[in-house]
Each structure stands twice: as C-alpha cells, then as structure tokens.
Structure 1
Amino acid sequence: MAIANKNLFLAKLSGSIGNQMTVRVRRENTVLGKKVGAYSLPPNEQQSAVRDRFSMAAGYAQSILADAAKKALYQAAADSSKVGASAYNLALKDAFDAPEIKEVQTTKYKGNIGDPLSIDVRDVVDAASVVVSIVKADGTLVETGNAVKQRKWRWQYTATAANDAVAGSIINVVATDLADNETIVDFEA
C-alpha cells in the first residue's frame, strides 16, 4: 500500500487500474493498493446482518430521494455539514444510526401540572418525535404524551397530571427519527 499526497496525476482519482492496483481516496489521502478480488468465503452471521442493515439503509436513502419534502430536509442538513455529504449520504447514515438522547433536565419537575422537562435529542437531521412517560416508583403510570420541539435538538414536555410521589419516579423517553429508529432511555426524576 502506498499513500500519495498532492500528486497531480492521482488527485481525486479512484478505481482499479487493470488487474494490478486499486486507487482510493481516504481522508483526503490517495491510497494505492493491490487489487482485491472477490471474497471466496461465504459471509458469517454477523457479516450477513451488517449487509442486511446496509441494504435496508440504502433502500431508505433511495426512498428519500423520491420524496421531495424529505429530500429537502436531508439536503439542508447536507448543505450545512462540513464534510461535503449529500442528502443520500445523510439519509443512509440516519437509517443506520438511532437518535441519541443526551440528557433530560428534570430540575424543574416537581410533580405539578405544567412542570417542564427539557430533553436534548441528537440525530442526523432531527428526531421525528419524542414521547415522554412518567412512572411512579411503584410502577403506576402517571402520564404519557408528546414533547414539543423548541429548537434544534431541544424538546420540551409539559406535565399534564399531578404526581404526588416524585421521589423515585422514572421519566421514560422514546425518541424516533425519520427512518423509524427508536431510542428508549429511562431517567430518574
């Protein structure tokens, strides 16, 4: 393997040259290597699972290109990214990665109607929905409802039922992205 930086003849070149070498660009470096042939062994269970996920993600990304409204969301995110990604690339990544629930701010939740819960949810574009459930320590469901998006990555849920036993209560948050990936996290109130 050889790495060629700032080579006039190989800049931004990728592909195979005859049956001898393959040229790839990795992290702004042009990499020359021996041509790799087809794999001779059948994929193992883990490899098959990854291939299936990739196939599903590629199908999702193709469907995004056919939907003008969703494509515009991904294109806007691609245009603001610093990595030069396309709408297809971000849709593919979104299909692979579930949203990440970074934090739930429970300091203002005292068990009263109208108390806010602030939730930080990160995703490739943005979460499609955030559902909050509050459960007492004894397992009794207090309430469930949708959080409202406040700004990028920040969602807010406003309590609609009184909770007389806040200590030990669990705040369950379910974040779903545009690709229908779900993340479920429990936080203590």
Structure 2
Amino acid sequence: MAIVKDNILMQLVRGTLGKHYIIYERNGQIIMAVKRGPSRKKPTQKQLEARHKMTIASARAQVMMADPEIKAYYQSLAGPGQNAYNMAVKDAYRSPEVQSIRLEKEDVVVTAKNEFRVAEVEVKVLDAEGAIIESGQAVLGRNRVDWYYKATALPAGGKVIVVAGNLPGCQTVKELLLT
C-alpha cells in the first residue's frame, strides 16, 4: 500500500489499473494498493455466523436510516471517515448489556449499558409456577444507566425477567430468581 502525495495525475485518478492495482481515497488521502481477490479458503463456522449477524445488522441499519431524527442522532456520533449508516450498523451489531438486577424495597433496579444508548427496559414479574403477575416498562434514572420499575409484589420462589433493547431493536434477556 502506498500513500500518494503531490502527484497531479493521481489526484484525478480513482479505480483499478488492470487487474492488479486499485486507487482510492480515504480520509483525504489517496491510496494505491495491490487489488485483493476473493479468498480461496472455505469460510469457517464463526465467519459464516459473523456474516449472517452483519447481514441482519445491515438490514436493521437501513430501516433506521429512514427516520430523519435517528439518522441525525447517529450522524452526531460519527467520527472522521464515518457516517450515520456506519454508526447504525455498529449499534445493530451488538445488543445492550444488562449488568445487574437488584431489588430495593419494591423497586426493581436494572443497570443496563450499550455503546450508544439503551432505548427501553421491560420488566416481567413471574410467580413460582411461571405465570406472569405483572409487566411493564422501566423508567430511566437520572444517572442515565439505571432503570427503575415499581413492582406491586415480588413473590418468593418467583423470578424477575428483564428485557433490555437498543434503538435498532436488539434485545438482551436476563433473569433474577426471587428467594
């Protein structure tokens, strides 16, 4: 790979030279490199899974770009050489992380993080038999990390199920057994 400087001819040229070289621009620099061909190796199972996950993330990002407000949000987070679509794909590739679920009297406090932002947290309270007693949306706290849900009852032997979701709709589910 070569970075081209102060060459008038190369300032105007982009694309491929024969079957061997490619000239492109990235972050204001003109780069000339050997053209890569397709790999001759069979992809591994992990590579196939990553490709599938990227296909889903790309599809979700395209849907997100249709909303001008969300597109503006992602554009505000983009750095040099990035755009709103890149940020949306990055957000759609990873699900939010539920770090902890704790009980404070009748409140269920969920600590959830995401590289961009957690859009919603749903809390379900189940009894010992697994029937849903109540469910609802948690409210974001002042620290922008903790989510609070006011439960009417927390039955012994039951459990609390938390579903955290980000803007593209990726979800993470975590459970807490009640004693």
Report the Cα distance in structure 1 between the residues aligned to 2:138 and 2:80, rounded to whole angstroms: 31
What secondary structure sits across from 1:66 in the alignment? coil
Match of 1:26 in 2: none
Task: Indicate whether 1:40 and 2:50 are aligned.
Answer: no
Contact 1:142 1:163 survives alignment (8 Å): no
Match of 2:53 in 1: 53
For structure 2, the 5+ residue unaligned runs are 6-14, 24-31
Match of 1:101 in 2: 98
Contact 2:162 2:173 survives alignment (8 Å): yes
Match of 2:65 in 1: 65
1:95-174 alignment runs, 5 A limit: 95-106=92-103, 108-109=104-105, 115-151=106-142, 152-159=144-151, 161-163=152-154, 165=156, 168-174=157-163
Q: How many residues align?
A: 168
Report the Cα distance in structure 1 between the residues aligned to 2:95 and 2:140, rounded to whole angstroms: 18
Report the Cα distance in structure 2 between the residues aligned to 1:85 and 1:188, rounded to whole angstroms: 43
Report the Cα distance in structure 2 between the residues aligned to 1:173 and 1:83, rounded to whole angstroms: 36
Identity of aligned residues (%): 30
Contact 1:73 1:125 survives alignment (8 Å): no
Summarize deviations over 1:57-95 as a string: whole Å, max 9, x none. 22322333332011123234x16xx88753222211111
1:72-91 alignment runs, 5 A limit: 72-76=72-76, 78=77, 85-91=82-88
For structure 1, the 5+ residue unaligned runs are 10-14, 24-31, 110-114
TM-score between the two structures when normalised by the length of structure 2 = 0.69
Contact 2:64 2:168 survives alignment (8 Å): no
